Amino acid sequence: MKKFCLKASILLLVILLVTNYLDVEAQVCRPSGTIRGKKPPPGQCNQENDSDCCVEGKLYTTYTCSPSLSSHTKAYLTINSFEKGGDGGGPSECDNQYHSDDTPVVALSTGWFNKKGRCLHNITISANGRSVVAMVVDECDSTMGCDEDHDYQPPCPNNIVDASRAVWEALGVSRNNWGGLDITWSDA
Ligand SMILES: *[C@@H]1O[C@H](CO)[C@@H](O)[C@H](O)[C@H]1NC(C)=O
Ligand SMILES: CC(=O)N[C@H]1CO[C@H](CO)[C@@H](O)[C@@H]1O
């Protein structure tokens, strides 16, 4: 009986070690939860430039992590206004200020924002054979959404670089294609 217990616990230990090792190896970013959409009150949720509004009852996945970084991390570029009254909501989280959309600034998904760890650091964004250096000024919150603080927009996916129009211009994207683009980025 005693011998069996020892064998069983060794086996269990091995299984735990192996699964733990595989997890670290794969650097998987799993969802952290879900949010159920609430209908924006009248006049809320600025739909300027195709911003999404939460749909009542719809489930949105949340993340505290982003995909792991490489020298050319794949991401999805979206457009945001960092100006007062724009679709970005309040001032930027890094410096509590608004920014002109004529300057190349971005918000990053929560995991990449790294608890303000990239605040006011620059990243290089590449697409279309061009690249642009942009400053990180804000978080695209992957952990929360569908509330007043987030202008009743859904939580951010975990792989977003949300950029001012200056970034879109610098990448040479024609105006009617602004809004969504596969890019790669790295720390500048
Ligand atoms: C990022 O770039 C801006 C504009 O070129 C520059 O003023 C700033 O010092 C840079 N930030 C860092 C941390 O290098
Ligand atoms: C960030 C951005 O491009 N905002 C634009 C959204 O649309 C309005 C109206 O077309 C423009 O004036 C903003 O510049």
- Residue 56: pLDDT band by 50, 70, 90 thresholds? very high
For residue 79, pLDDT over 70 is answered with yes
Rounded to whole angstroms, what are the CA distances from 147 to 36, 129, 150? 11, 38, 5
3-state secondary structure 54-93: CCCCCEEEECCCCCCCCCCEEEEEEECCCCCCCCCCCCCC
Domain ranges of the chain: 31-187
Q: Which pTM was predicted? A: 0.82
What pLDDT is recorded for position 25?
44
Question: For the residues 35-41, what does the mean pLDDT come to?
Answer: 89
Residue whose Cα lies nearest atom 5 of ligand 2: it is: 49
Residue whose Cα lies nearest atom 1 of ligand 2: it is: 81
The token pair that represents 24 in the structure block: 């670290």
- Residue 13: pLDDT band by 50, 70, 90 thresholds? low
Instruction: For the chain, give the mean pLDDT.
Output: 88
Beta-carbon contacts of 25 under 8 Å, excluding residues fewer than 6 positions away, are none
Q: Point out the ligand nearest to the CA of residue 87.
A: 2
- Give the range with max mean pLDDT: 8-17, 47-56, 143-152: 143-152
CATH number of 31-187: 2.40.40.10
What are 73's strand-pairing partners?
A: 185
The alpha carbon of 150 is separated from its chain's Cα centroid by a whole number of angstroms, namely: 14
Cα separation, 86 vs 89, in Å, equals 6
Q: Point out the ligand nearest to the CA of residue 133.
A: 1
Of ligand 2's listed atoms, the one at least distance from the Cα of 81 is 1
Q: Is the CB of 120 under 6 A from ligand 1?
A: yes
The two beta strands, 105-109 and 130-140, are: parallel
For residue 23, pLDDT over 70 is answered with no
| Stronger pLDDT, 123 or 50, i.e. the higher one | 123
| Stronger pLDDT, 36 or 49, i.e. the higher one | 36
What pLDDT is recorded for position 10?
63
For residue 2, pLDDT over 60 is answered with no
